[in-house]
């Protein structure tokens, strides 16, 4: 089997170690004998339906978000992302990437940046800096990461949060909630990087990608996650 990981604007949106999510997805697939190709979609290259089997969209500062928001509209990549998620393709977006997949992101300076409209949510930059370790309770059990954002995300009616805050800020707009989940797309404020010490979420994304690509239910071979789970539980114990 083969998987193509679509790295959205990885040259512009990859702060706080978010590339670690790409490495985790790649290794966890390769450890199962799955060939992985990483494809960067960014300003200047084209993106069409079916060009990747799973997408990752990392965090970025306001300046990068401005450039990316414009390209998402002008190049049509935003529409492709939306249609890919609608057909079940999984996606993980973190912080700045997550913010650009809502209705809009209003930075401190300048006009609202148009979002892709994937998550029923919108984000407004605030004067609070929400920074620190974050733990949530979710459908994947506890998830632990690190957050650093001023944007407060407000979930609209019917939006599903990724999880509920155990420690930290999370969305900050709709309090006590963290992130958003729509079909197989996940938005979150958790940098870290998130996936290496949250293997359950990593494998859920891989499983969904393979099932959509190959059109059948698939069970992933169990990996020895001793190290990953030690990191997971140690971090929860330390910061919980």
Edge-to-edge, what's the strand order for the sheet holding 185-188?
A: 35-41, 2-8, 54-57, 91-94, 185-188, 180-182
Please give the Cα distance from 34 to 91 (Å, whole number).
18
* Closer residue to ligand GLN (CB): 60 or 161: 60
For residue 28, give Cα distances in angstroms to 35, 55, 111, 136, 203: 11, 15, 40, 23, 8
Instruction: Pick the catalytic residue from 149, 180, 191, 232.
Output: 191
The nearest distance, CB 147 to ligand GLN, in angstroms, is 8
* Closer residue to ligand GLN (CB): 62 or 211: 62
Beta strands 121-138 and 141-155 are antiparallel
Please give the Cα distance from 136 to 83 (Å, whole number).
29
Name, in order, each residue with C-beta under 8 angstroms of 206's C-beta and a sequence gap of 6 or more.
Answer: 3, 25, 28, 29, 34, 54, 220
Question: For ligand GLN, which residue has the nearest CB?
Answer: 59
Closest among 125, 127, 73 to 101, alpha carbons compared:
73
The nearest distance, CB 96 to ligand GLN, in angstroms, is 3
Residues between 42 and 101 with contacts to ligand GLN, criterion CB under 6 A: 59-62, 65, 95-96, 99
Q: Does 205 bind ligand GLN (CB under 6 A)?
A: no
User: What does the per-residue mask of binding to ligand GLN show for 9-48, with x meaning CB under 6 A?
Assistant: ------x---------------------------------
Closest among 48, 100, 87, 96 to 184, alpha carbons compared:
87
180 counts as catalytic: no
* Closer residue to ligand GLN (CB): 61 or 176: 61
Please give the Cα distance from 77 to 42 (Å, whole number).
9
* Closer residue to ligand GLN (CB): 57 or 204: 57
232 counts as catalytic: no
The nearest distance, CB 61 to ligand GLN, in angstroms, is 5
Please give the Cα distance from 70 to 130 (Å, whole number).
26
User: What does the per-residue mask of binding to ligand GLN show for 124-163, with x meaning CB under 6 A?
Assistant: ------------------------xxxx------------
* Closer residue to ligand GLN (CB): 146 or 204: 146
Cite the active site residues: 95, 191
Binding site for ligand GLN (CB under 6 A): 15, 59-62, 65, 95-96, 99, 148-151
């Amino acid at each position: 089997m083969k998987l193509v990981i679509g790295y959205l604007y990885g040259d512009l949106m990859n702060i706080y170690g978010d590339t670690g999510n790409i490495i985790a997805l790649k290794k966890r697939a390769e450890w199962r004998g799955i060939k992985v190709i990483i494809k960067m979609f960014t300003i200047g290259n084209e993106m069409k339906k079916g060009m990747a089997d799973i997408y990752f969209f990392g965090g970025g500062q306001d300046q990068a978000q401005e450039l990316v928001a414009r390209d998402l509209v002008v190049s049509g990549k935003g529409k492709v992302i939306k249609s890919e998620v609608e057909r079940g393709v999984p996606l993980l977006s973190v912080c700045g990437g997550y913010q650009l997949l809502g209705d809009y992101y209003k930075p401190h300076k300048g006009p609202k940046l148009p979002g892709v409209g994937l998550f029923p949510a919108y984000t407004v930059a605030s004067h609070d800096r929400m920074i620190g370790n974050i733990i949530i309770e979710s459908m994947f059990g506890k998830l632990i990461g690190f957050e650093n954002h001023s944007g407060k995300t407000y979930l609209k009616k019917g939006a599903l949060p990724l999880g509920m805050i155990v420690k930290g800020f999370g969305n900050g707009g709709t309090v006590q909630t963290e992130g958003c989940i729509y079909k197989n797309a996940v938005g979150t404020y958790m940098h870290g990087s998130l996936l290496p010490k949250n293997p359950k979420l990593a494998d859920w994304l891989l499983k969904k990608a393979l099932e959509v690509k190959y059109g059948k239910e698939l069970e992933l071979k169990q990996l020895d996650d001793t190290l990953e789970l030690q990191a997971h539980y140690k971090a929860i114990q330390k910061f919980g």
